[in-house]
């Protein structure tokens, strides 16, 4: 969703790339999001190197053999640099690949996470066009001909080997896949989701492998523009509802907490999509949580209203903050959440909260 939290990790990498870029290099002319070129599947499952930024973002809930829940998040991010696109060298840093993975386990009490980053090169790091096929070292996300995804991640504290199989058609976000992110038409991205993916596979931790099953949500988004200049962060949720519906809701905030833009998309089990404009969407904080590490205060429990619909968002665990000050410097909250209506459980998803430590700088 939006300019994934991975954008926060680009600062150091891009500065290194700029040092390696000759001053006389011609800056690339990045492609634009335009209604004249609609999002088309299956053509757009793959990478779009002509655009500045792109990400594949998978989140979900897993059930361990004892029935206990485990949240997971996997992101692969591609970013084109300002390096001369005409440079014929295979080693030219034209594209950066970044990946991040995290587990939410109430038994652990905080996120277990890992990250990688590098320039696109040979068979080590790439994002291929045509179909989803992204790799960074020994981390991979690949879409098969039947539409299922294979995920293989060997992180510091755990290993994931998962298959995510579709049970519904992809959901085009916004206006047939063009998703507005601000009051100006140029503040937009191409964006589709694949909700209600059926997950099977295994999780290995501390040398022990456990079979898992569950449900997941996958976002694929690409653009060449950033957010509104007054934006400092966003709140976003993507959720698989128990009745087969799929929900996306987000708001983009300024430094005073005012909403610069908001949107809700709701697709029912029959495929009917309802869109709610900023004036129809309201986020209300139900409960805050303060991090003892960063002193940041996050609205980890929220109420979201969209037209006649209301949902409560409740965290699997309060501490799902990612604090990477020792590496990339990014600090944000991203974790598994339950959804309720009138006190009854109605679904599960993931919530992302950014810009609560310091303003987002792209």
Q: How many structural domains does the chain have?
A: 1
Residue 275 sits in a domain whose CATH number is 2.40.370.10
Whether residue 353 has pLDDT greater than 50: yes
Percent of the residues in the chain that have a pLDDT greater than 90, as a whole number: 75
**Given this model, what pLDDT does residue 32 score?**
93
**Given this model, what pLDDT does residue 81 score?**
80
> Hey, is 15 helix, strand or coil?
helix
Report for 92-106, 236-250, 330-344: range of highest mean pLDDT: 236-250
Provide DSSP, 226-243: ---TTEEEEEEEEEEETT
User: Residue 258: how many CB atoms within 10 A of its CB?
Assistant: 10
pTM above 0.85, yes or no: yes
> How distant is the alpha carbon of residue 185 from its chain centre?
22
Q: Are 338 and 314 in contact, with CB atoms under 8 Å apart?
A: yes
**Given this model, what pLDDT does residue 90 score?**
54
* pLDDT, mean over the chain: 89
Whether residue 204 has pLDDT greater than 70: yes
- The CA distance from 292 to 107, in Å, is 19
User: Residue 57: how many CB atoms within 10 A of its CB?
Assistant: 24
**66-75, 92-101, 194-203: range with lowest mean pLDDT:** 92-101
Token pair, residue 142, equals 């690949």
In a domain, 268, yes or no: yes
Q: Is the peptide bond before 360 cis (omega within 30 degrees of 0)?
A: no
Average pLDDT over residues 43-66: 96
User: Residue 156: how many CB atoms within 10 A of its CB?
Assistant: 10
Residue 229's pLDDT band (cuts 50, 70, 90)? confident
Under DSSP, the state recorded for 219 is E
Residues listed for the chain: 362
In a domain, 24, yes or no: no
Residue 325's pLDDT band (cuts 50, 70, 90)? low
In a domain, 360, yes or no: no
Burial per residue of 14-27, b for 16 or more beta-carbon CB atoms within 10 angstroms, e otherwise: beebeeebeeeeee
Per-residue pLDDT of 5-44, as tens digits, reads 444 444 434 433 443 444 445 557 899 999 999 999 999 9
Q: Which domain holds residue 275?
A: 5-19+43-353
Residue 104's pLDDT band (cuts 50, 70, 90)? very high
**Given this model, what pLDDT does residue 42 score?**
96
Whether residue 68 has pLDDT greater than 80: yes
Under DSSP, the state recorded for 12 is H
In a domain, 36, yes or no: no
Whether residue 190 has pLDDT greater than 60: yes
In a domain, 25, yes or no: no
Per-residue pLDDT of 139-153, as tens digits, reads 999 999 999 999 999
In a domain, 331, yes or no: yes
Q: What share of the chain is helix, strand, coil (3-state, %, to 5)?
A: 5, 55, 40
**Nearest Cα to Cα of residue 59 among 116, 141, 124:** 141
* Distance set, CA 281 to CA 178, 254, 348 (Å): 19, 16, 20
In a domain, 33, yes or no: no
Q: Are 134 and 128 in contact, with CB atoms under 8 Å apart?
A: yes
In a domain, 183, yes or no: yes
Burial per residue of 193-210, b for 16 or more beta-carbon CB atoms within 10 angstroms, e otherwise: bbbbbebebebebeeeee
Per-residue pLDDT of 287-315, as tens digits, reads 999 999 899 999 999 999 999 999 999 99
């Amino acid at each position: 969703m939006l300019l994934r939290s991975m954008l926060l990790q680009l600062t150091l990498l891009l500065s290194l790339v700029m040092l390696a870029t000759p001053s006389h290099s011609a800056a690339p002319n990045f492609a634009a999001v335009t209604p004249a070129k609609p999002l088309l599947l299956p053509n757009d499952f793959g990478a779009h190197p002509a655009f500045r930024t792109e990400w594949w973002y998978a989140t979900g809930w897993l059930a361990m053999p004892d029935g206990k829940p485990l949240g997971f998040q996997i992101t692969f991010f591609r970013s084109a640099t300002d390096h001369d696109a005409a440079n014929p060298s295979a080693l030219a840093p034209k594209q950066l690949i970044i990946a991040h993975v995290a587990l939410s386990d109430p038994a652990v009490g905080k996120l277990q996470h890992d990250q990688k980053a590098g320039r696109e090169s040979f068979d080590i790091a790439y994002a291929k066009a045509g179909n989803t096929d992204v790799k960074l070292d020994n981390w991979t996300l690949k879409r098969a001909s039947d539409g299922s995804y294979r995920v293989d991640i060997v992180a510091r504290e755990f290993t994931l080997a998962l298959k995510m199989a579709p049970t519904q058609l992809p959901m085009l976000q916004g206006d047939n896949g063009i998703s507005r992110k601000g009051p100006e038409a140029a503040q937009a991205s191409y964006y589709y989701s694949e909700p209600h993916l059926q997950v099977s596979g295994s999780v290995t931790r501390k040398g022990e492998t456990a079979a898992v099953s569950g449900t997941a949500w996958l976002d694929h988004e690409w653009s060449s523009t950033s957010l509104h200049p007054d934006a400092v962060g966003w709140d976003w949720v993507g959720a698989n509802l128990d009745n087969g519906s799929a929900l996306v809701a987000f708001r983009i905030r300024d430094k005073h907490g005012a909403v610069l833009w908001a949107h809700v998309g709701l697709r029912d089990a029959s495929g009917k999509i309802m869109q709610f404009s900023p004036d129809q969407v309201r986020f209300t904080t139900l409960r805050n949580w303060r991090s003892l590490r960063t002193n940041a205060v996050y609205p980890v429990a929220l109420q979201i209203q969209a037209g006649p619909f209301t949902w409560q968002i409740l965290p699997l665990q309060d501490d799902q903050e990612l604090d990477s000050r020792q590496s990339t410097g990014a600090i944000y909250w991203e974790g598994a959440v339950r959804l309720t209506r009138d006190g009854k459980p109605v679904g599960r998803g993931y919530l992302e909260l950014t810009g609560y430590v310091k303003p987002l700088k792209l």
